[in-house]
Amino acid sequence: MEITKVGVLGCGLMGHGITQICAQGGWEVVVREVSQEKLDGGIGKISKQLARAVEKGKLEQADADGVLARIQPTLDCSDLGECDLVIEAITEDLELKLEMWKEVDAIAKQDAYFATNTSSLSVADQAAVTSRPERFLGLHFFNPAQVMPLLEVVRAEGTGDDAARLGFELGEKLGKTTVAARDNRGFIVNRLLVPYMLDAIRAHEQGVGSIEDIDTGMKAGASHPMGPLTLADFVGLDTLALIADVMHEAYAEERFAAPPTLTRLVEAGHYGRKSGQGFYDYSGERPEPVELDA
Ligand code: 3HC
């Protein structure tokens, strides 16, 4: 099936990036949010990134204008009715996702494909509330979606061959490296990356090193682009805690349990970079590590 119009549900951290790369890939994109403020925030980030690319000479102004013109922001779910593929990137909450899929299933074209960008929830559980499990797959992008090369293509129990093929073709069109992942909690990358970040938090709790030293250690000692605590702030501590809970329940292994510091920070509304504070304070010129209670 030829894709001409893509729908994206959610214009937050992941949704705005997915919207941008799909529009850059040449597709018309309808992006839906639940509030004008969130919609404006996501579109504002896309405009800023396009302007920066033009400034750096990496993109012509006319092309940047073209990308923005292909994006239709909306608050109205019924605007997704003409989309050939709908990708969801809303909060990592199964109940919310199921409600949303029921709504979208009722208005989407009969032959439209659905994809979830879930980090950790079951693709099959989401497919099951729609009328099209064979057209439902997981497409897991990484943050920032505009930069990170990987796309995990997740085939659930009922995903058909056409939908799986569509996932790999879409990745290729977007210039991503694709891998096939099974529909287990965390797929490949988060199965390995989430316990690593949680373990770094535990290492800090146990006094192994300061926030900065743990991060510097993994950057300089293992050539990671970011240390694990910076990465946790970057992913979002609220998202990390939600993923940890899902994986802990699924695997019943202590290494997936949210450490007390993570729970405390999330309860205090410190979600990392997006809220201005997490393991670091982002209010100044450069991020400063926060003094955390023992
Ligand atoms: N949007 C668009 N472009 C961005 C960007 C963003 N949010 N952030 C950085 N960039 C671009 C910059 O414009 C720059 O582009 P250029 O090379 O064309 O000039 C390029 O990326 C490099 O950026 P910077 O020079 O500003 O900074 P860095 O070299 O430090 O790179 C980084 C930033 C790419 C974020 C790098 O630090 C990195 O790779 N970090 C690790 C990120 C990571 O591991 N992500 C996965 C998280 S896990 C996940 O997403 C799964 C989920 O389910 C939890």
Residue in 33, 88, 92, 119 annotated catalytic: 119
Tell me what pLDDT residue 293 has: 74
235 in ligand 1 pocket by Cβ < 6 Å?
A: yes
Distance 20 CA to ligand 1 centre (A): 14
Give the nearest ligand 1 atom to 120 CA: 53
Tell me what pLDDT residue 49 has: 97
pTM of the full structure? 0.95
Q: Where are the beta strands (DSSP E) in the chain?
A: 5-9, 28-32, 71-74, 85-88, 113-116, 136-141, 150-155, 177-182, 280-281, 288-289
Ligand 1, atom 31: nearest CA belongs to which residue?
225
Domains located in the chain, CATH noted? 5-182 (3.40.50.720), 193-289 (1.10.1040.10)
Tell me what pLDDT residue 2 has: 84
In angstroms, rounded to a whole number, what is the distance separating the alpha carbons of residues 212 and 172?
37
Concerning whether 120 is annotated as a catalytic residue, the answer is no
* Listed residue (81, 78, 183) closest to 136, CA to CA: 183
Residue in 120, 122, 140, 270 annotated catalytic: 140
Question: Alpha-carbon torsion 247, 249, 252, 257, what sign?
Answer: positive
Tell me what pLDDT residue 294 has: 65
- Positions of the chain with pLDDT under 70: 1, 294
Distance 148 CA to ligand 1 centre (A): 7
Tell me what pLDDT residue 1 has: 61
Best residue among 147, 154, 238 to mutate for probing ligand 1, ranked by most atoms within 8 Å of CB:
147
119 in ligand 1 pocket by Cβ < 6 Å?
A: yes
Concerning whether 152 is annotated as a catalytic residue, the answer is yes
- The 3-state secondary structure of 161-219 reads HHHHHHHHHHHHHCCCEEEEEECCCCCCHHHHHHHHHHHHHHHHHCCCCCHHHHHHHHH
Give the nearest ligand 1 atom to 235 CA: 54
